[in-house]
Structures are given as C-alpha cells and as structure tokens.
Structure 1
Amino acid sequence: MAETLRVALAGLGTVGGGVVRLLDANRDLITRRAGRPIEIVAISARDRAKDRGVDLSRFAWVDDTSTLATRDDADVVVELIGGSDGPALTLARNTLAAGKGFVTANKAMLAHHGLELAQAAEAARVPLKFEAAVAGGIPVIKGLREGAAANEIARVYGILNGTCNFILSKMEAEGRDFAEVLAEAQALGYAEADPSFDIDGVDAAHKLSILASIAFGTQPAFEAVAADGIRRVIAADIAEAAALGYRVRLVGVAEAGANGLFQRVHPHLVPLDHPLASVTGSLNAVVAEGNFVGRLLFQGRGAGDGPTASAVVADLIDIARGEYGPPYAMPAASLVAMAAADPGERRGRAYLRFTVEDRVGVLAEIAAAMRDAGVSIESLIQRGTHGDGSVIVAIVTHEGPERSVAQALEKLRGSQSLAGAPLWMHILE
C-alpha cells in the first residue's frame, strides 16, 4: 500500500472536530477508497484546553498556526479557521508556497482571494480543494467541475444559506414575523449571535461567486454580486406569496452571456411546483442548467459538522488518489474577466410590497408611478389596517425590464404616503 497521506489540521471548531471523528469512524473504508491511509499528524487551534469531545492527545499541538505550512511531517494542510484574511489567508499562501496541498471550507477567503490562490497552486503543481466551501456535504463543486465538465452551463442558482431557509420556512409554517423566528434560530444554534453575514445575503454571495466561476469559466467576482437578504421580509409577505401560489426563498442566481456576468442574491417568490419550493428547514439546494445534460439538482444538508466534514475528507481522498486538476475546473489563465451585466436589462415579473397610510389617493399615487415608469400591473391587493393606521399594498407586475420597476420605486422615494421603504422580490420563472 502507498505511503500515508499526512494531514495538518488548523481549526478545531464544529467542523474540525467532525473531521477528526469522521476519519476515526470510517478509517478502514477511507483507506480502501483512498488507496492509502489518511492520518492527522498535527493540529492547531486557539484554545488548547477546550474539551472538544474527541481525543487530541495523539496529535502534535502547534500554537502558531502558520507553521503548519512548513512541517516536514505534513503533506496537506486543512484550514477550518474561517475569515477572508488574517491567519487563514496567511496559512493558505504559506502552504502553497511550501509546495503542499491545501484543503479549505473557507468561502469568504475564496470569494476574495480565490484567483490568487488558484494561480499559486497551479504554479506549485499542488492541489487546492474546497468542496466544503459551498453547500456543506452536497457535492455541487465536484458535480460542476467534473460531472458536468462537458456542458456549457447557462445558469446556476439555488438556496445557499441554511440559516435564511430555516427562518423563512418557520415564518411560512407558523405565520410568525422575522425578528421572532431569528431569535429562535439563534437559540437553536442555526444563527450566529451576529447573524448579519447570513441574513444580509453575504454568505450566500460568497458561495455564489465560487459557483459562478466554476460554472462559467470566469474569474471569481464577489464584488460584483448584488446581495440583499431577508431582514425586511414580514409574515404578510409570506402569506401573500402563498395566496399567489409561491413560497419565499433567498435565492442566489448567476448567469453569463453576451451582456456580461450577472450575479445576485435576493429574496424570490418561487412557484410551488419548482424544486426549490420544497427545500425547507436548513437544507440547501443548487440547480445547474447544462446545454446537453439539462437541469441538475443538488440538494442536502448545507452545514453542520457531519456534512461539512464529509466534504473535507472527500477532498483528502481525492488528493490521496492523485485525482485533482485546476481548482476552478480550468487553468487560472483561462478564466475570463467578465464585466458585470446590467440588471436593468433583465426581464421578469416582480412582487412589490408597500406599507402605506390608509387614506384616499395612496393607491392612485403608486399606480401613477408604475404607469409613468412603464410597469404593467398584473394584480394589486390591499390588506387590512394595522394598529398604527397603516395598510399593506402588494403588487405583482407583468413581465418587463427591471429598469422600469427601479424607476417606479425611485419616483416613490420620499413619498409621505409610504411608511417605509418598499420591498422588491423577484419572481423565479
């Protein structure tokens, strides 16, 4: 049997502990599938004394994480620290410079520095693997990079954040408002104490930029992702969507075409018969549309120690087998720097929700703004008076350019009739 693949592990949080437990539990199976043993030889984390529920005494403990990159007894470094810069990025750069393989679950670092790291890995002729960075245990990166490699991908989109999907599913099932369900999600551990990265769409935007690069052969362009989260979705929006035959989901969408690269994370109304409508709780799902393979759906648990550790170890098995190619499915030099597409040129239907004063003339003012901007209204619904005297007005538009909807909302900016900023959700066709 071939020599052992020796692994240095940085980060012993939920996922790091899961990697240790998985390698222990499935040791014989992993050895057979990899063709050689995979062993952790060194570990590093912030708190040496913390009880992580697993025996760590058999591994060499390193206080300075960056030195894992230069250990003579390690072939591969696994980074599970997190963060787009700082110790994680230093470790990545040092590891690749030292000619060692690098495995990471760090979507933020890849979204910001993925091209640089891919170039470094290719120059050193070592693997850079990151299956765990997108959708946890769902093999979507491998599916796009390998299984669909012969296809031109027209579009990739999906539910990329389990926290947001958990919150929206709870709001839908129980008729509760966002703030109340967010507090429950935090208590259950589905949401962080500071949930901004999740609920504002940043986490999903990181993942979408990685998927777009692999799907379209473009340079990662996180800065071009338009991200809007679910903070302003209320129970009334969920109920209105249900009445119209939709469910509300935070969806990331990426397309590449003659007009450039389009990337957006935004709440959508998803038709009940669409596969994403049935994705509930903390699950993730990704849809890719290939010109020969057709629609591919990847669905499963997108976070947690088990699924994410599974993806990390799958990358280690590939490395042990010697099965790895360019990190982004083609050489970094072949990745195209594509300009961002103008979203105003996109056509579609929209759901618009206004909270307004209950008085004569308000509906006429909204309708006039839509008319003047060239927005055709399919339906307009007004719901009862709230305790503060305001009412909810929901509009569904006919298909038209997004620029027209943006112009209509701009005409209403500052209107004394509106009790707050309108909510715009796209309808997924």
Structure 2
Amino acid sequence: MKPLKVGIAGLGTVGAGVMKLLAAQADLIAARAGRPVVVTAVSARDRNRDRGVKLDGLNWYDDAVGLAHDPAVDVVVELIGGAEGKAKALAEAAIAAGKTLVTANKALLAVHGVALAKAAEANNVTIAYEAAVAGGIPVIKALREGMAANQVSRVAGILNGTCNYILTVMREEGRDFADVLADAQRLGYAEADPSFDLDGVDAAHKLAILAGLAFGARIDFSSVHIEGIRRISGIDIAFAQELGYRIKLLGIAEKTEAGISLRVHPAMVPMEQPIATIDGVFNAVLMDGDFAGPVLLRGRGAGEGPTASAVVADLIDFARGIHVPVWGMAESALEEARLVPMSELNSAYFLRLSVVDQPGVLADVTAILRDHGISLESMLQRGRAPGEAVPIVLVTHETTEAAVSAALARVGTLPAVLEPPALIRIEPK
C-alpha cells in the first residue's frame, strides 16, 4: 500500500513528538490508517540541534514554504505557530499547491481560519486542526463530527493549563500569584514570557475556533472579550472557597436569540459543577447540544505526547480518505451572526473592595449600587480595624455588565476605597 508522505514544519516539542510517535507506533498507525504514514521532509531553524529523533535521509528545507512544493510530500504539518509570518505563508502555499494541511496553530485559525477555509475549498483540499485546541482532548472531532446533528447553544471550558495550574496551586497551598508563576516556569508549565497564557489570549484563540465550529458562524477574533488572571489574589480564592466556589479561567461561547457572546475571564464556578473539579494542567470542554445534551471532555491540554497524538489522529484520517469541511460545513454556509457586546451580559458578580474601616463607607457603596439598580445577595467582612484597610466582599444578584461597570467606576472614586475594586463573574449553580 502506498504510504502517506508527510512534511513537518517546526521541530520543537510537538514536531519532535510527532516524529517519535510515528516511529514508536508505526505498525499500529499503519493498521488503523490502512497504509504506512511516513515523514519524508522537515523544516526547522537549526539543522544541528539534537531533537532526539533521526533526520537522516529526509529532505530538509530552511524555508518551510519549500515543503508545499516538494513532490515527495502529500500532507504538510504546520507546527511553527503564530498568526502571521512563516506559518501563514506555509499554510497558504500548501493549500495553493493542493496539499492537505494539518496544523496545531490556534492563532492562525482564530484570525485567518475562514479565509483559509475558503481557499481550501477552492483548491479541493482539507485542513485539520485537532491539535490546535485542548491538546489530546478530541474536542474538534466531537464538535465537528460527533455533535454534527445538534444545534449547539453553548461551549465553555478551561482552555489553558498554565492558568489552571497556577489557580489550583494558589488555592491548595495558599501561595501568591508571583510565587506560583515562578514555579510554573521552572517546571515548564509556563513560558519564559507567559503573557499569552496569563492574559487570556491563548484561551481566546481556542474559544474563537470552538465557537466557529459550534455555531457554524464567521467569528471575528477581535470580538472576543479577554481578561486574564493576573489580578486574582489569594484573598479572592479564600473568599471563593468560603462562598462555595472555585475560581477558574473560563472561555465561554453562547448563542442566544440576541446573538453570539464570546468571553474569556476568571469566573466563580460552583463547587458542585464538574468543571470546578478540573485541576492542575488539565483542560476541560463542556458542549451543550439540543439532542445530545451536555457533554464534558477532560484531559491534558498541552505537551509533547497529547498534542502529537492529536496531530497523528488527523494524519490517520487523511490516510483513510476521511475529509470533513474545515468548519463542519461549506464556508459559504457560515452564518453572519450578531456578536453580543460584553456590556449586555447578564450575570451575578463577586465584588471585592479594599476600604478604610470607618463609619459610613458601606452605606456610600450600597447607595451607589442602588442607584445603578444592583441588589445584593450577601456581604462578607472579616474583623474590624478602625482606620485601617479591610476587605469587603459583595455578592450581587444577576444584573448587567454595563450597570456593574458604571457602579464600580463611581465606587472607585470614593476616598475610603484604597484600590480599584476587584470583579469576578459568577457562573450559575
């Protein structure tokens, strides 16, 4: 049987992992693919670096775009990363050359996915990207194929293992953010520059892809509301525990009659919800279909093995001749949905204030909330320290983001309020 010939661009952790997996599981993969899957060409920045894999006899390209024009390559695997530059050029060249494209590049798909899908259809080729979202969790196949008969109304989950690890350790060990981040970097769970993770951008890229698939819609990445975890403190986590919640960085995509809402931010998740129990570097995605009901997938969201596993799963599909539209339907069938602004969100809120402990402070705060139509469910204050700073926690009933934002802008100007108020949205029980 004629082998499927693969060219890999990018020989970092994932690229080397794909080569190791193809070698270690060669017989199993050939049996499941119906033919051998072999690497014939590679591209990377440094020819001399030891990656723990054999590169003898492979075509080497200093310029990754050369893979797209190599007659000994059937499938191009793009593992360079980034929405622009070499990754985008290679993806476009592979499609133009009629090559199947496998990618783990969430930024590329979140920003240019619709345009690439249109080009792929015009050239009668397929793009697969199981590895772009949630590593070893088969969430793309679940949404695009397993849930294909459903109207999906909501996709939500923990989409970044670095943030989940940091929040978990802060809760379990009572340590502060900076200390845990340093540990995460030492252990390899966080990059030297962890901004994309900590500021929510990585999760937002993944959410945009999931939303496009779930709702059959053209998603403008700039419409995703993005917040990270840098402002989450140990005191927030302690109060959350006391109130029966755990703080998680969530990506949430919802489709209602008003349109599509896309947001990434820390959230208070009730402890009884399954997603609240997902700790450490694990990811989880919850999908809600009208016939299937809620489906929860959990697993390792990154790393050499899980991500390589997802890449090779796509290669096996191609070897078998399985071709699915990039977004689950023709690009021309994708919906132009209204994107709901964050100001229209309805939610309950956890508000934490640091105030001078003096008479009348709480009355001033509650008067401002009342003026904006915000009612309180509960209030927590620990101890008294007249004239000193104390934390006050207010839990609101459901209200609008616009009302809370306007109220907190006024609260922050009160002389007794010592720092900008903290806000965390509360997931329903």
Q: TM-score range by the shorter chain?
A: over 0.9
Structure 1 outlier segments of 4+, above 6 Å: none
- Cα displacement (A) at 1:385: 7.4
Secondary structure of the corresponding residue to residue 292 of structure 1: coil
Aligned to 1:407: 406
Alignment of 1:262 onto 2:276: no
- Name the aligned partner's letter for residue 359 of structure 1: Q
- Aligned with 2:354: secondary structure? strand
> Is the Cα–Cα contact under 8 Å of residues 384 and 392 in structure 1 kept in the other structure?
no
- Inter-partner Cα distance in structure 1 for 2:171 and 2:350: 17
The residue that corresponds to 2:349 in the other structure is 350
2:86 match: 87
Paired position in structure 2 for 1:284: 283
Q: Which residue of 2 aligns with 1:362?
A: 361
Aligned to 2:340: 341
> Partners in 1 of 2:157 and 2:79 — Cα distance?
24
| Counterpart AA for 2:225 | A
Q: State the shift of 1:269 in Å.
A: 0.5
C-alpha distance in 2 between matches for 1:78 and 1:155: 30
3-state SS in 1 of match to 2:67: helix
**Paired letter, 1:364:** A
User: Does structure 2 retain, via aligned residues, the 8 Å contact 1:78–1:102?
Assistant: yes
**1:418-429 matches, cutoff 5 A:** 418-429=417-428
TM superposition shift of 1:47: 1.1
CA deviations over 1:215-267 (Å, ceiling 9, x no partner): 00001221100000100000001010000111000011101222111000010
Aligned to 1:130: 129
Kept in 2, the 8 Å contact 1:114–1:220? The answer is no
Q: Which residue of 2 aligns with 1:50?
A: 49
What amino acid maps onto 1:210 in structure 2? I
What residue is the counterpart of 1:232 in the other structure?
231
Secondary structure class of the residue paired with 1:341: coil
1:357 to partner: Cα distance: 2.6
1:172 maps to: 171
Q: Output the CA distance in 1 between the equivalents of 2:117 and 2:303.
A: 26
Say what the alpha-carbon RMSD is for the aligned residues: 1.4
Q: Which residue of structure 2 aligns with residue 69 of structure 1?
A: 68
* More displaced stretch, 340-349 vs 152-161: 340-349
| Aligned: 1:382 with 2:381 | yes
Q: CA separation in 2, counterparts of 1:297 and 1:145?
A: 15
C-alpha deviations, 1:333-370, integer Å up to 9, x for none? 11112221133333221111122233333222221111
Using the TM superposition, give the Cα deviation of residue 58 of structure 1 relative to its aligned residue in structure 2, in angstroms.
3.4
Q: Which amino acid aligns with 1:104?
A: T
Q: Which residue of 2 aligns with 1:296?
A: 295
Unaligned stretches of 5+ residues in structure 2: none
CA shift for structure 1 position 384? 4.9
Displacement, 1:409? 1.1
Normalising by the residue count of structure 2, what TM-score does the alignment of the two structures yield? Answer: 0.97
The 8 Å contact of residues 259 and 342 in structure 1, kept in 2 or not, is answered as no
Q: Distance in 1 between matches of 2:364 and 2:188?
A: 44
Percent sequence identity is: 54
CA offsets 1:246-297 (integer angstroms, 9 cap, x no match) = 1000011101222111000010011111011110000000000000000000
Paired residue type of 2:70: R
Q: Deviations over 1:69-108 (max 9, x none)?
A: 1111101100101111000000000000000000000000
CA–CA separation in structure 2 for the residues paired with 1:385 and 1:60: 72
Residue deviations 1:21-80, cap 9 Å, x none?
Answer: 000111001001011111100011111111111222232221111111111110110010
**One-letter amino acid of the structure 2 residue matched with residue 209 of structure 1:** A
Q: Is the CA contact (8 Å cut-off) linking 2:8 and 2:39 kept in structure 1?
A: yes
Question: Hey, what does 2:326 align to over in structure 1?
Answer: 327
Q: Deviation per CA, 1:127-168, whole angstroms, max 9, x where unpaired?
A: 100000000010001000000100000100000000000000
Question: What is the alpha-carbon distance in structure 1 between the residues aligned to residue 384 and residue 267 of structure 2?
Answer: 26
Asked if structure 1 preserves the Cα contact closer than 8 Å seen for 2:157 and 2:283, the reply is yes
1:1-16 aligned within 5 A: 1=1, 3-16=2-15
Secondary structure of the corresponding residue to residue 66 of structure 1: helix
Who is 2:36 aligned against? 37
* CA–CA distance in structure 1, aligned partners of residues 308 and 418 of structure 2: 46
Q: Find the aligned partners of 1:419 and 1:231 in 2 and give their Cα distance.
A: 19
SS of structure 1 residue aligned to 2:46: coil
Partner Cα separation in structure 1 for residue 249 and residue 337 of structure 2: 25
| 3-state DSSP of counterpart to 2:379 | strand
Q: Offset at 1:403?
A: 2.5
Determine if contact 1:138/1:298 at 8 Å carries over to the other structure: yes
- The equivalent of 2:390 in structure 1 is 391
The answer to whether 1:159 aligns with 2:130 is no
Residues 273-326 of structure 1, C-alpha deviations (whole Å, 9 max, x = no match) = 101111000000000000000000011000000000000000001111111121
In the aligned structure 2, how far is the partner of 1:30 from the partner of 1:93?
Answer: 28
Which residue of the partner structure matches residue 241 of structure 1? 240
Distance in 1 (CA, whole Å) between partners of 2:244 and 2:116 is 44
Decide whether the 8 Å contact of 1:352 with 1:394 is kept in 2: yes
Residues 270 and 428 in structure 1, CA contact (< 8 A), matched pair in contact too: yes
Secondary structure in 1 matching 2:366: helix
Q: Is residue 253 from structure 1 mapped to residue 252 from structure 2 by the alignment?
A: yes
Amino acid at match of 1:338: A
Structure 1 window deviating more from structure 2 (282-291 vs 318-327): it is 318-327
